[in-house]
Amino acid sequence: MKAQMSIDPALISLLGRKLYSSHPLQIIVRELLQNSVDACKNIHPYIRIEVQTKKICKPEEEFFTIITCTDSGCGMSEDVLINKFLCLGGTTKSDGETVGGFGIAKAAIMSGIWWSVHTHDLYVSSKMVMNGADVKKTNYIEGTIVKVVLKGYIYSSDISDMTQMIYGSDVNVHFILKCFHRYGSSINEYEDLYTGLTQRKTFLTSEMAWVGSGVEPIKTPFSTIEGKTFIRFKNLVQFIKSRTYGSERKINLIVDFDSLLSPDKRDFPFSMSRESISNPDINVEVIKWIEQQDSDYMTLEDKFENPEDPCSRIIPGKLLYGNLILAMAEKDPEYALESELSSGKIVFSSTPTIIDQTLSCPVIQLMDYEPSTEREAELDSKYLLMWGDILSLVTPTNIPFGIGLVGRKGVLGAHTENEGVHFLLISPIVWKNHEDKRGLVLKMWARAIHEVAHYFILVHNEKFTSTMGALFSMTCNTILANIAIILRRLS
């Protein structure tokens, strides 16, 4: 008897929910859309997506969302349906022209409480799979119809993310949305026969792996989409980023990847869930380009909530991003950076990063800071830009931050948070009467490591100390290579 592996269908449902960080509605619609585009690539396509929410009040109030995707594509044979679609990790695609490729669309589809697939004269559902039933013969259709049911209330923000993904893609979709209001009996119905991006794109930049362009605000039956950045693969939106805090950018940016590799290859630019760019160098390129575009639309209008503390205020400007490339998770109070580093789970570049000093007008927080003379204010501003340079070398790339000065007695630095943005503050006392400028850079570096370590560990304990040690180790060569450049701020 052959050794074969089996898996409980309930585990596939759990896997589908854990594979993605975004709401299931957006991910399922994205995966269904991509599969339909692949299926229709050699014929005149027709793709229809309908999203309908329902409320059941008996015996208790419950909410459900029904997602139906219909396409006129090639469909699936019985062999493909059984041995490919119902095989976890298998894929029905065999060339580099497809978008889905991973076969992970199935994990998204099977994350619903119920699903079904009708392709040609074949029908299968989640209930049939759970019961071990045979694939059912039914009436013949051209293409495929997939239905997925989600349990739980869908908020307007989740619906907005889904519609933006559809309208930011270069594909025509017949889109229907029926939303049941949570606190009433009314149903809002929207239908658009011609979705997809129709605005003319303006070419902005071209890099080795991607092309950047811009389009005017997108008007839809639901809202106007503006100030977004669509990260796309083969003209289909994979995930969406919002504009930088403080930017008044109205146009939408498009970052197009057209990799010749399929998603199961190592050099594929996206993470497995396609919710982020996995290549750290390309990710830094894209972030810096988006920031540069946003800086052209920066205004002096304050986009931050000024703290309730009357002695603290925010000066609007551009957010900074770090250059330290880490493959790290979200902030975790128990995160052990040093152990991850020593185990090889975190990889960082050993080649020193050279600081980019083209940035001006960063966002600044001033806390109890009052210079006595204009000359003092001018000098402090130069040292503050040095502080920003140093922080950009020791802060991970996925953390946007602002800089600032704190003038409170006995406080050498502070780490605050405002509107989800971290502000890393330093006291002017650090550089007062400090003749050795190279030594001052190293002193400020140590201060910066201390504040950045608080992003990982909130309290001063053994883990905090080990985290500081790991950050020192990772940034030592880079700081030494940039001391002369950093000191140019004082000229």
Q: How far apart are CA 103 and CA 277, in angstroms?
A: 19
Report the distance separating Cα 354 and Cα 482, nearest Å. Answer: 6
The first and second tokens of residue 9, run together, are 């269908």
d(Cα 237, Cα 122) in Å, to the nearest integer?
30
CATH class as words, domain 9-197: alpha beta
Mean pLDDT of all residues in 154-159: 83
d(CA 238, CA 22): 11
Contact between 367 and 425 under an 8 Å Cβ cutoff? The reply is yes
- What is the mean predicted confidence (pLDDT) over 275-283? 86
pLDDT at 341 over 60: no
Among 9-18, 58-67, 133-142, 389-398, the least confident range: 9-18
Q: Cα separations (Å) of 244 from 213, 322, 400, 488?
A: 17, 15, 9, 28
CA distances from 187 to 55, 136, 223 (A): 11, 34, 17
Lookup: tokens for 267: 């050099």
Closest CA to 366 of 287, 302, 443: 302
pLDDT at position 328: 42
Say if CB 468 and CB 450 are below 8 A apart: yes
The encoded tokens of residue 447 equal 């201060």
Q: Per-residue pLDDT tens for 101-126?
A: 445 566 777 778 899 999 999 999 98
- Predicted confidence at residue 10, as pLDDT, reads 52
pLDDT beyond 50 at 4: no
Question: Please, are residues 76 and 84 in contact by the beta-carbon 8 Å criterion?
Answer: yes
Residue 301 has what pLDDT?
36
What percentage of the chain reaches a pLDDT higher than 70?
77
The H-assigned helical ranges of 40-191 are 78-80, 105-109, 126-131, 156-167
Query: What pTM, to 2 d.p., does this model score?
Result: 0.59
pLDDT at position 288: 85
Between β-strands 421-426 and 400-406, what pairing exists: parallel, antiparallel or unpaired?
A: parallel
Look over the chain and give the mean of its residue pLDDT values, rounded to a whole number: 79
The domain spans of the chain are 9-197, 299-490
Residue 109 has a pLDDT of 78
* Gap between the Cα atoms of 227 and 241, Å rounded: 9
Rg of the chain, C-alpha, whole Å = 26
pLDDT at 183: 52
- H-helix or E-strand spanning residue 164: helix 156-167
Residue with tokens 């229809």: 48
Q: Which of 27-36, 94-103, 251-260, 352-361 shows the lowest mean pLDDT across its residues?
A: 94-103
- Residue 416: strand pairing partners: 423
Higher per-residue confidence, 325 vs 176: 176
Task: Report the DSSP beta bridge partners of residue 216.
Answer: none
Tens-digit pLDDT profile for residues 348-363: 444 555 555 555 578 8
